[in-house]
Amino acid sequence: MNKLSIILIAIFASVSFTSCDDEVDAPNVLEIYNGYYISGDATPFSGLETGGGMVAGNVVGQATKFLDLSNGNIVITHENNSTAEQPNTTSFGLNSADELVIDGDVINFAETAGKYFFRIDTTAKSISHVAIESWGAIGSATPGGWGEDTNMTLESSDNGEYIYTVTVDLIGGEWLKFRANDQWAPQFGVVDGSLSLRLFDSESDPGSIQVPESGNYTIKLILGTKFDYELKKN
């Protein structure tokens, strides 16, 4: 073996050893926050977290969140391309007239602990909340028709995403909705193909969801940083 061959083998071994031995750190994923967020010791979110993102409403300045609340403070912020290192945050609170305003006082929640819809409306300068005891599917596609809910159970609530589910026989071509507390508000139906919330009786009634064909289905209602549903035929 000549001298050149020995040198080339040594260089190759050095390069191979270095590439196998050294680990390249994975790049950090930069979390960017946009929209309205909820946090505070009354909520499951201690600070700005992805799971605390509120769902934008059809009205400008309106956003809603489904979450567990207990006695404590609520913080509302609006984020505009914020990151943990470079926040671009507008904070909201209450003034002396209990109006929701920029840089207002902290919101104190003093109701019974449980699951709630919490809504803000920066245009109307208001906050509101509705306690939720149960969810069910109802409609001509379901066993109980329009007269009786088929109760759903909470499957998970990880990272602020609540998933309610039920497995049930459904009738094809017929209709269903989701409603809370065995009442017609709050309820979910569809508008333009997307799940739409009717929080109060004074709001418009969304359309019903059509079941494509008869069969046994697993139905999911997904309440997180967006409101969604699934109909999966088993």
For the 135-233 domain, the top CATH level (class) is mainly beta
pLDDT, tens digit, 9 for 90 and up, residues 170-211: 999 999 999 999 999 999 999 999 999 999 999 999 999 999
Query: Using one digit for the tens of pLDDT, what is the confidence trace for 206-231?
Result: 999 999 999 999 999 999 999 999 99
What is this structure's pTM? 0.87
- Strands (DSSP E) contained in the chain are 33-39, 55-56, 62-69, 72-82, 89-94, 100-102, 107-109, 114-121, 126-132, 135-138, 150-151, 153-156, 162-170, 175-180, 187-191, 194-198, 209-210, 215-223, 227-233
Q: What is the dihedral of CA 198, 200, 203, 208, to 10 degrees?
A: 30
- The domain segmentation of the chain, as residue ranges, is 33-132, 135-233
CATH 2.60.40.3620 corresponds to the domain 33-132: yes
Domains 33-132 and 135-233 share a fold: yes
